[in-house]
């Protein structure tokens, strides 16, 4: 496929579209809520807040809602997003989590910084899956957890230029231990979290588009 999204013009267009989306969401709701996140970081992945006690957490492609506001028990909670500077102006500056303006292809933290790296509905937005997967592996501590939620689709869009297949884990994280994995049907188009709540599973050999979720452990 064309690499237009990696050009400076492509990046500007993509980021403008994403920022417009969030501004629309905020105008529609008045305030960007974040109370729904805690369930997905904990119960959905068979975790509790105790598992996050004094741990370090990185959320890749965090958006402006305050995805880690629930995680007051952590030692470090970071949201990484190329649009983080804009999000702070939209009200994210009121959040207690730390926002870092950077892409996932060059995460500005030392090796083995994080106990948890999370990508919820974001890894298909990145410019490079190869570079992003290498960076996730680098900043995650040995034995740390990678939590993944991603749309599986074989077509690029303006804001989701990466076509993600069901074989994503085997391709990019073959040495990580799969602790949990689900193939879910996309019953509600454009509502990834509603689809997770619905939890309608697809057969492992299904070629339909849907949602892939996984809890993976980096080798110790």
- 220 alpha carbon, distance to own chain's centre: 23
Residue ranges per domain, the chain? 4-217
**185-212 pLDDT, tens per residue?**
999 887 899 999 999 999 988 888 999 9
Identify the pLDDT of residue 1: 40
Using the structure block, give the residue that is written with the tokens 């933290």. 109
Q: Is the pLDDT of residue 47 over 60?
A: yes
The predicted-structure confidence for 165-178, as pLDDT tens digits, reads as follows 999 999 999 999 99
Has residue 2 got a pLDDT over 60? Answer: no
Q: Given pLDDT bands bounded at 50, 70 and 90, which one contains residue 4?
A: low
| Answer CATH for 4-217 from 3.40.1280.10, 3.30.1490.20, 3.40.50.150, 3.40.718.10 | 3.40.50.150
What was the pLDDT predicted at 3? 63
């Amino acid at each position: 496929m064309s690499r237009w999204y990696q050009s400076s013009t492509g990046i500007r267009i993509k980021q403008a579209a994403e920022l417009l989306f969030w501004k629309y969401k905020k105008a529609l709701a008045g305030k960007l809520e974040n109370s729904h996140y805690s369930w997905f970081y904990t119960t959905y992945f068979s975790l509790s807040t105790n598992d996050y006690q004094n741990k370090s957490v990185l959320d890749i492609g965090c958006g402006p809602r305050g995805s880690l506001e629930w995680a007051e028990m952590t030692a470090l909670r970071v949201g990484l997003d190329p649009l983080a500077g804009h999000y702070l102006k939209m009200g994210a500056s009121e959040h207690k989590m730390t926002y870092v303006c950077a892409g996932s292809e060059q995460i500005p933290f030392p090796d083995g910084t994080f106990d948890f790296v999370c990508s919820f509905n974001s890894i298909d937005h990145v410019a490079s899956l190869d570079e992003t997967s290498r960076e996730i592996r680098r900043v995650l501590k040995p034995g740390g957890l990678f939590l993944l939620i991603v749309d599986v689709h074989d077509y690029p869009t303006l804001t989701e230029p990466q076509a993600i297949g069901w074989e994503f884990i085997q391709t990019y994280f073959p040495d990580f231990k799969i602790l949990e994995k689900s193939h879910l049907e996309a019953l509600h188009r454009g509502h990834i979290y509603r689809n997770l709540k619905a939890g309608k599973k697809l057969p492992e050999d299904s070629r339909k588009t849907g949602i892939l979720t996984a809890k993976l452990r980096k080798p110790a």
